Amino acid sequence: MPTAYGRILRRPGALRFSAAGLLARFPMSMVGISTILAVQDLYGSYSAAGAVSAANIVATAVGAPLLARLVDAHGQARVMAPALVASSASLLALAAAAQHRAAPWSLIALSALAGALSGSMGSLVRSRWTALLKSPDDIHTAFSLEAALDETAFMIGPVLATALCTTPALPVTSGWIAAMVLQTGGGLWFLSQRATEPAPHRRPRRRAARPGRGADERARGPEAAAPTSRRPVLGHGAVVSIAVIFLTSGAMFGANDVTVVAFATELDQKPAAGAALAAWAAGSFLAALAYGSRPWGWPLWKQLAAGALALALGASTFAVAPNLAVVSGLYALTGLAIAPTITSGNNIVQVTVAPSQLTEGLAWVSTALNIGVSLGSMVAGRVLDASGSRGGYLLVAGFAWTGAAVAAGSLPVLRRVRAHSRIPLEGRADERCER
């Protein structure tokens, strides 16, 4: 293991909470493909499968920032323990409803409830790292490690879910059940580790304005007003820019998840769809390890832009792949750009928002990614029913190029990023984002 990773994992409690966070994140890679496989098999429609999957992801996108704000104010365990138990119960109910051919609207409702209460485990883990580490280089390494672990979940999760859902001896809903077990076990193990839990940040109540106070504060400048006002997370242009970039990238990921299942089905190799997605994640995993093992001379905005462009170029090749072996190879190559792009975006958010808003900030960009995944899977479901996998892969490329265009258009905002004064950076406060 590179020295940089060994250094951060030797910190007290770090290895345990990171391992627990990995287990708890497996559902994010399993629920989507389990939904597509189960609903398509039981109801015979990619559109229905995409709708149920989209409901889960949209609900996650809505619920995660709200839960994150509560977490920042009240603590991780207090908020997320009951939420995860309720989310897992909803997943179990979803599996039972689908197995009994319940009305599609009930599947959509249960899928949405499971997603709304699942939270953003990646944000919780990264928040612990930020509380534990002080050096910006160490935080960069930690975020890259978590990106690699995200991809570990995406390498193993889809393969596991596909195997469970397509094994004749098991019910097609087995993927949901496995995701529920991992979410409950891993999540509660993570939340039980109170020693590394970041301290909550109580939000100060707004004080009533005294006569003449506003004019006096305006005369003294913005620093004078800082104790009684705080810029909202979405008041940062950089956070909004990253959210939009993640939205379009997520749409590419979501469309690809559904398209590869259709492509494998057309080739009569449906069980191999999970392995193809694992190749995609494997490329990202290797890139994450390399990316986090050392500091990079490029500023974060350049790293983000280069990653978005590489994703677009790679996605443009999928439609010409003649078989799953070739598309898996293209997935692995394109995946090399995923982790650096996502990590650089998260790093920009981390140096932008206040420490008391970090979980919420990371949750918002994760939310944008999830919204994109839901939109991509939903739109792809309709395209696949009409045009097959080739049309789906053209849609994937379209989303990828949209993401690259948004990244290019956001560069003026990202170059102006200034690190929050309470986040320690080596050298100039703005050098990691602007140089």
B/e letters for 21-43, b = 16+ CB within 10 Å, e = fewer, are bbbbbbbbbbbbbbbbbbbbebb
Domain boundaries, the chain: 15-196+233-434
pLDDT at res. 435: 39
What is the CATH topology of the domain spanning 15-196+233-434? Growth Hormone; Chain: A; (1.20.1250)
- Measured in whole angstroms, the distance separating CA 56 from the mean position of its chain's CA atoms is 14
pTM beyond 0.85, yes or no: no
pLDDT in tens, 25-42: 898 878 888 998 899 889
Q: What is the mean pLDDT of residues 160-181?
A: 91
245-258 average pLDDT score: 88
Q: What is the pLDDT of residues 270-321, one digit of tens each?
A: 778 878 887 887 888 888 777 777 666 777 788 888 889 999 999 999 999 9
Q: Which residues of 90-122 are buried (b: 16+ CB within 10 A; e: fewer)?
A: bbbbbbebbeeebebeebbbbbbbbbbbbbbbb
| Residue 322: pLDDT over 80 | yes
Interval 236-261 mean pLDDT: 87
